[in-house]
Amino acid sequence: LDTIDIINLIPFGIEYKDKIFGQEFNDITDSILISVRYAFFNQYYDKVHVSRHGLIILGNNSYLLSLKIPDQFSLEDLVYVTSYWIDINNTNDSISKIFYRKILLKNERNALSKISETVHKGYSKLAVQRMLWTFIVTWHQLSNSKNSTNRNTYQAILNTNGFYLFTLFIYHKLQGSQGSSSIHSQIGFNTGDKMKYYKEKMYFSPLVLTILNDSNIDILDQFVFHTSDNFSDIQYVTSTGLQVSSFRGSIYGRYEFRLDGICFNKSVYEIHIHNQTIRYCTYYICHAPSHAIEQAR
């Protein structure tokens, strides 16, 4: 399987420098170092694991459990996204493969452009800038542990454009939803604090297969989630207060940085830049060194 192009999936395969999750008995890869500090719901991660059972796990924890059987959300101290968590066994299966790779703008502009277009359909205001980095996992032609003739193909994709984070779930084929435990698949993501999580409403049911004909961005089989901040219409407050983060550089010497991490409530906070009061904002982007922050309180 050198190259695989399926019309609704991001292209994958050896030609795209994907790595293949070996068919040994390990259910979870070793830590995979990623090239960004990925701020999944305000917690930073620089390592991930891939599970053969459909999860991307964030963080560098050691997992004594295989996470083979789908479990109820929310789960404490386990941070992950899962496009299709199902009990599978591909150790002796010559058809099924699990591919994963990191994508940077400098080496795969076409792939990032396609991903950017998809994200923009769901979050047009937040995804004005194209994606700069992606981690993509493809579970290709995997059979479940209960029926080896049923095959599932899907992707889970972590993305950032330097300002916001997004998670994509893309489905090509779903033929089975149960493993040897007879428990149906689970779909969603979990932050590990037992408070912030999302689970697809059809989880643990045969109806989970119908997600193949559904979408939250009006493109069948595709789902986009904004995974930067908390689940609330209220802007978040962090214990660290004001945060200053640099994002984009320029050949002319300037770089952009962003103020965020506090609730910019006009009755409590004011942001002053060059003696100008900035109102009604949840973040502010500046340029340095030509623009400087004089005061922020």
113-158 per-position pLDDT tens digit: 999 999 999 998 889 889 999 999 999 999 876 667 889 999 999 9
Q: Which residue has the higher pLDDT, 9 or 7?
A: 9
DSSP assignments along 173-228, one per residue: EE---B-TT-PBPEEEEE-SSSSSEEE-TTTTSGGGGGGGG--SSSSTTEEEEE-S
Structural domains counted in the chain: 2
Closest-CA residue to 149 (of 205, 97, 93): 93
Q: Tell me, yes or no, whether 105 and 251 share the same domain.
A: no
Separation between Cα atoms, residue 294 and residue 276, nearest integer Å: 10
Residue 6 forms part of a structural domain: no
Q: Tell me, yes or no, whether 257 and 118 share the same domain.
A: no
Residue 170: domain span: 14-226
Residue with tokens 């030509």: 290
Give the end of a domain, one of 226, 251, 268.
226
pLDDT at 2 exceeding the cut of 70: no
Q: Tell me, yes or no, whether 220 and 250 share the same domain.
A: no
pLDDT band, very low/low/confident/very high, at 287 (cuts 50, 70, 90) = low
Q: Which residues pair with 103 in a beta bridge?
A: 134
Give the end of a domain, one of 194, 226, 258.
226
Q: Tell me, yes or no, whether 212 and 265 share the same domain.
A: no
Sign of the torsion formed by the C-alpha atoms of 154, 156, 157 and 163 = positive
Q: Tell me, yes or no, whether 255 and 172 share the same domain.
A: no
Counting Cβ atoms within 10 Å, is residue 31 exposed (0-12), middle (13-18) or buried (19+)?
middle
Residue 234 forms part of a structural domain: no
pLDDT at 55 exceeding the cut of 90: yes
168-197 per-position pLDDT tens digit: 999 999 999 988 778 899 999 999 888 888
Give the end of a domain, one of 197, 226, 255.
226
Q: Tell me, yes or no, whether 169 and 81 share the same domain.
A: yes
Residue 86 forms part of a structural domain: yes
Which pLDDT score is estimated for 119? Answer: 95
Contact status, residue 273 vs residue 297, Cβ threshold 8 Å: no
Which pLDDT score is estimated for 65? Answer: 65
235-268 per-position pLDDT tens digit: 333 334 444 444 455 444 454 555 544 444 444 4
Residues 6+ apart with CB under 8 A from 152: 84, 86, 88, 139, 141, 142, 143, 144, 173, 174, 175, 176
Q: Which amino acid is at 109?
A: R
Phi and psi based region of residue 146 (left: phi greater than 0; alpha: psi -120 to 50; beta: remaining):
alpha
